[in-house]
Amino acid sequence: MTSKIDSIIEDFELLEDWDDRYRYLIELGRALPPFPEERRSEQSKVQGCASQVWLVSDASTGAEGPRLAFQGDSDAHIVRGLVAILLALYSDRPARDILAADPGAVFARIGLKDHLTPQRSNGLRSMVERIRADARAALEGAPL
C-alpha cells in the first residue's frame, strides 16, 4: 500500500512540465479538507510566512507514543498546495517519526526545492519547524 506522500511523489515524477507541476500543486491544495473557522487564530498562524498559513495539531496516544494529526490552510494557492504536501508527509504519524522525517529530501525529489521563491522556501521552513515543535511538545507531554 502506498502512502499519501509516495503517491504525490509518483504523480510529480510523471509531470515533466513545470506549469503542470504547479497546477498539480494547486490541485493538492484545493483537495484539502475545509479548515475550521474557529481554529483560525493568531496561535495557529505560522510566523515567518509571507502568506497567511494556519497549522494545528491534535495529539493522540498510540503504542509508539504520541501521534499527531495536522490540519492546515493558506490564503495562497501554491502555499496551500505546500501545506497539503506537508500534511501528507507528517499527519497521522508518531511524533518520533515526524522528527526523523526529512522534508528537504521529499521537496528535492519532486523538484520543488529548486522552483520555489526564496519567500516560499522560508515559509516552508517555518511550517516544518512549527510541525516539529508540535512533535517535540507532544513527546514532552506539553499541551499543543
Active-site residue flag, 49: yes
Burial of 115 by CB count in 10 Å (0-12 exposed, 13-18 middle, 19+ buried)?
Answer: middle
3-state secondary structure of 108: helix
- Could you say which of 8, 25, 28, 49 is catalytic? 49
First to last CA, the chain: 31
Cα 90–118–76 angle (5° rounding)?
Answer: 60
Using CA atoms, how far apart are residues 14 and 4, in angstroms rounded to an integer?
Answer: 16
Using CA atoms, how far apart are residues 7 and 60, in angstroms rounded to an integer?
Answer: 25
Catalytic residues: 49
